[in-house]
A = this chain, B = another copy of it.
């Protein structure tokens, strides 16, 4: 059952692992001068339909914190949702990488804030006393498995544009969002004005591969230096870049995400059949369900961490490798 705890529990996709194995051939230049890394910019430029620059990282925490550091300085403010990974799952990495950017949290249901909240919060007198509004970061899909519609993103981007703030997307589940919205990567990002995306690979089939994707070249050189400074520049970078290439080649990233989303919908339907109504409409690959004592205990018995709060909905997470039979077993367990 622990597979449903997190998409981080899933193994790597065989094609990604095979790419790692294939790259293990002979001598190769180090620190990103290898043949795999050389193809990253072009590959992602194609994926996004515009010129893009890629800085790989081994974790989403690093990708997010590097992105923020590329866009904001130590006397600036970044706006994020109060339930975002950046806000409370990264052990202060954002404050660390940025040298002290203030992380301002916004509320809003379903782990989403809207343009109005952003507008109000960033209406700050421009003086020496206050952190300067500089970056807005949205998580897509969110930590609660919900999605910003393109229209919602556009409204947020409009506030950012007006206030001269930059836009970052925490795309740890970028693929699940694109799969669910059925849009092009471009439509969800740079066409709306996004400057940088943390493009996630690990949860959706990689071993440890994330990428900061920039649509503006100006922060690139400093970002690369910051990545080195953070110990994110692998000496044998081929093993990371090869993952990213395999992950986006032939649409694997999207196929994996579509599967995960589909399995999640199947799971949600099955649960509804059991009388368990999701707390939020499942839009990507996660479903949050209120569970009674017995169901929680059953999950715990199967190695699941149901959290400390007996009343909080439990997160069930489908991944690229979830099978129908896994859902059958989970349903059987919850049926009691």
Interface on A for B, CB 8 Å cutoff?
2-3, 5-6, 8-12, 17, 20-21, 24-31, 57-63, 65-66, 73-76, 88-93, 95-96, 99-103, 105, 124-125, 128-132, 202-203, 207-208, 222, 224-236, 239-240, 303, 308
Contact = CB atoms under 8 A, between A and B. Distances in A.
A5 B31 CA distance: 12
A233 B59 contact: yes
24 contacts: A2-B29, A3-B26, A3-B27, A6-B235, A9-B27, A10-B27, A11-B236, A20-B207, A57-B231, A61-B228, A61-B229, A61-B231, A74-B226, A88-B124, A88-B130, A90-B229, A91-B225, A92-B101, A92-B102, A93-B229, A96-B230, A102-B103, A128-B228, A208-B236
Contacts of A73: 222
A202 B236 contact: yes
B31 A11 contact: no
List the 9 closest pairs (A to B, CB-CB), nearest first.
A62-B231, A3-B27, A95-B100, A8-B30, A8-B235, A99-B99, A75-B225, A61-B231, A59-B231
A2 B28 contact: yes
A235 B60 contact: yes
Given A128-B224, A130-B91, A59 B3 contact: no
Nearest to A132: B225
Contact of A231 (B10, B29, B65): B65
Nearest to A234: B208
B101 A95 contact: yes
Given A11-B24, A28-B11, A75-B222, A58 B229 contact: no
A91 B230 CA distance: 9
A149 B235 CA distance: 28
